Structure 1
Amino acid sequence: MALLQSSAATTRALQYEQHPRIVMWELTRACQLHCVHCRAKAQTRRAPDELTTDQAKRVIDQITEMDHPLLVFTGGDPLERPDLFDLIQYAVNQGVHVSLAASVTPKLTKSVLQRAVLSGVSRFAISLDGATNLTHDRFRSVHGSFKETMNSLQNLRESGLSTQINTTVTAWNKTELEGIAAIAEQHQIDLWSLFFLIPTGRGRASMMLDAQQNEDILQWLYEQTQIRPFAIKTTEAPFFQRITSQHGQRTPGRNVTDGDGFIFISHNGHVYPSGFLPVSIGNVLRTPLPTLYRESPLLLSLRNRKLRKGKCGVCEFKEICGGSRARAFAVTGDPLESDPGCAYLPLSLRGGKEMGAQTE
């Protein structure tokens, strides 16, 4: 299994040098919610420097040149852009799979869901950060948001759209994950995507979990993958790959992480390794996205896992994990440093051997 994982990781590494697997695009920072952990620091009005419709379509043209990665339109709230479905249709017509991550506001109507179906949206995502109205509404800073989210999940189920729930894992809601999973199963979602908080935007360091708490939750998540009818993935917790491997499960190889199989476009065209690693590598209005992705010195360093420092640099799982570069940057100021959110001590630092560890 170790050799199989190493081969898969190497194959993906070569693929990710040229093409991202996922392009996340913040179409706008406008949103009617005021979430306490919002990466974008969303505002109620659209920014004057958002990409125009024509500019956005030219960027979509560039994305199609990169082997048609999954394109995720997010925000803010992408429903704040009147040209949203025009852009979705334009991308879909070029063979791009489009997912939509929208906010639960009065704009999220049944007619909007029907438009999403007709325009060819592959998956529709909304956020649920608590199993109770008290917790979820606290995150959203809007009374009644939990109730509306439950209504939206029901509407999504009736629409026939593939549905995803996004949850940001923090100290505030770590005890409610079981309840959120139950809600997810009740509403027959397809994917539960858990984002482990990075202190950027409005997100505060005091909301982060410590390394052992992360480990405990990810071990629990692995158990959930064995009993839940929906898929589970993590963002900024790539050590979930290591945990899966330690349980004897074959992993798909190298994970998608900041700048490595993943790229983020902001509302004004600036490009970042991810939305949680706020270091711009350029702007699509001046440099084509494929060039930025393939030639950025920062991205090249992030994709070279031999440059990892600290325990991430000597970890036997670095090819399938690699640590969160966003968390390393947020906490230490160096995106190549060891991920402080991981509790695992590499074998080389213990002088032992362990089955299931992948080799380079």
Structure 2
Amino acid sequence: MPFDERPFLVFWELTRACLLRCAHCRAVAQLERHPGELSTDEGRRLIDALVDLGRPRVILTGGDPLMRPDFFDLVDYAVRQGLSVSVTPSVTPKVTEDVIRKAKAAGIARWAVSLDGATADVHDGFRGVPGTFDRALRLLGWLKAYGLPAQVNTTVTRRNVHQLEAIAERIADYDIVLWSVFFLVPTGRARMEEMLDARETEAVFARLYALDQTMPYAIKTTEAHHYRRYVLQQKARELGRPASTLSFQAFAQRKRAGQGAVDDGIGRAPDGLRDGAGVVFISHIGDVFPSGFLPVKAGNVREAPLGEIYRRSPVFRALRNPDGFGGKCGVCDFRHICGGSRARAYAVSGDMLAAEPTCAYIPPAWTRRIAEQKAGGAR
């Protein structure tokens, strides 16, 4: 799927207001809403713009989108315009059984629940509010009862990496469609020292790959695009074929040999999807970014049409050209499938086109380049 003309996923941050105090919050959420948030009318106009962009999949996020009193008005308008709308509200007392019932009736495609630990002490330590762990499990039970497709989001850091298998088992009984494992990007409140290094990340890839063979739901990674490389390498070994002949998307759609494609409610992401290439983020005040984790502003929907920003911004155009990436990413044989986390590259180096800092793979072309440079220096 070409991403030059239209995005695949649109994240819209309705507000930065939230009742939680999450240690890794990229939005640095506050208790009160910002007075400059897009109004309801501006929100409807943005939804119209998304229709013109070919109806990409829309994720309403925050902060906590339920902090906006017009939340369901905007959902209703978007669904009536034919958009697939998923939501990622915070797990607070605002989420009641009645809200889930109303969300199901409104036609919400998926509700994401954050669970960052297999135990209350780890999860509540992340979220900064006691009781959030129990509330999250209760919410998953409601979603299952009302048949509203549920996704679990887990952010992997040094404080919870030891609990991944336990989290996977904990959520297996709730009929979720997807476990999205976020790899920390040190932006917002997230700290660099909580981020896994390349060796630790590769070890987590192996664990996720093993879990994907047995869990009853799909598993994907967020801001760990190099997991696609890992999966293709493993499948190539198993099939005795070159990884270059395989499609990550095809394998992501199949759970085990002999089983059909997994329908996770909104379809699986195409190969090459990443920040700015198929992904766009609109902030609570209308600023447009490649993603919520990559704070390089490309424009504002109050000043220019979203489609124009997405198609013509130098920021987005650069991110859609993996041949222009720096370091080993720019010559990697998996660059058009992966491309690395541009957000993490920016957070670590200040350059969104720099090499992915948590990838352990050394491309053959990079090895040759280093050897040539050493040989040239020795003359």
User: Are 1:301 and 2:301 matched, yes or no?
Assistant: no
User: Are 1:169 and 1:196, in contact at CA under 8 Å, matched by a contact in 2?
Assistant: yes
Q: Which residue of the partner structure matches residue 205 of structure 2?
A: 218
| Alignment match of 2:288 (pick from 262, 268, 271) | 271
What is the 5 A alignment of 1:48-127? 48-127=35-114
SS at match of 1:16: coil
What is the 5 A alignment of 1:115-194? 115-194=102-181
SS at match of 1:335: coil
Cα deviation, residue 67, structure 1: 1.2
Q: Which residue of the partner structure matches residue 230 of structure 2?
A: 243
1:16-47 deviations in whole A, cap 9, x for unaligned?
11111000011000100010000001111111
Q: Distance in 1 between matches of 2:64 and 2:107?
A: 19
Q: CA RMSD in A?
A: 1.0
Cα deviation, residue 102, structure 1: 0.8
The gaps in structure 1 that reach 5 residues or longer are: 1-11, 352-360
Q: Distance in 2 between matches of 1:325 and 1:23?
A: 17
Aligned letter for 1:229?
A: P
User: Are 2:345 and 2:357, in contact at CA under 8 Å, matched by a contact in 1?
Assistant: yes
Aligned letter for 2:163?
A: E
SS at match of 1:58: helix
Cα deviation, residue 350, structure 1: 4.0
Identical-residue share of aligned pairs (%): 50
1:39-69 deviations in whole A, cap 9, x for unaligned?
0011111110110000000000001111111
Q: Distance in 2 between matches of 1:201 and 1:247?
A: 34
Q: Distance in 1 between matches of 2:335 and 2:300?
A: 30
1:63-90 deviations in whole A, cap 9, x for unaligned?
1111111000010000011111110111
How many residues are aligned here? 338
Does 244-253 or 289-298 show the bigger shift? 244-253
User: Are 2:165 and 2:211, in contact at CA under 8 Å, matched by a contact in 1?
Assistant: no
What is the 5 A alignment of 1:293-332? 293-332=310-349
SS at match of 1:62: helix
Q: Which runs of 4+ in 1 moved over 6 A?
A: none
Aligned letter for 2:194?
A: M
Q: Distance in 1 between matches of 2:215 and 2:325?
A: 34
Q: Which residue of the partner structure matches residue 343 of structure 1?
A: 360
Q: Which residue of the partner structure matches residue 233 of structure 1?
A: 220
User: Are 1:260 and 2:277 matched, yes or no?
Assistant: yes
Q: Distance in 1 between matches of 2:319 and 2:118?
A: 36
Aligned letter for 1:317?
A: F
Cα deviation, residue 224, structure 1: 1.6
User: Are 1:244 and 1:250, in contact at CA under 8 Å, matched by a contact in 2?
Assistant: no
User: Are 1:23 and 1:72, in contact at CA under 8 Å, matched by a contact in 2?
Assistant: yes
The gaps in structure 2 that reach 5 residues or longer are: 236-245, 250-269, 369-379
SS at match of 1:233: strand
Question: Whose relative contact order is higher, 1 or 2, with alpha carbons under 8 Å and at least 6 apart?
Answer: 1
Aligned letter for 2:295?
A: P
Q: Distance in 1 between matches of 2:132 and 2:284?
A: 25
Cα deviation, residue 225, structure 1: 1.6
| Alignment match of 2:309 (pick from 292, 295, 316) | 292
Q: Which residue of the partner structure matches residue 373 of structure 2?
A: none
Aligned letter for 1:298?
A: V
Q: Distance in 2 between matches of 1:267 and 1:115?
A: 24
Cα deviation, residue 186, structure 1: 1.7
Aligned letter for 1:257?
A: R
Q: Which residue of the partner structure matches residue 351 of structure 2?
A: 334
1:260-315 deviations in whole A, cap 9, x for unaligned?
10000000000100000001111001111000000000110000111011010111
Q: Distance in 2 between matches of 1:323 and 1:250?
A: 17
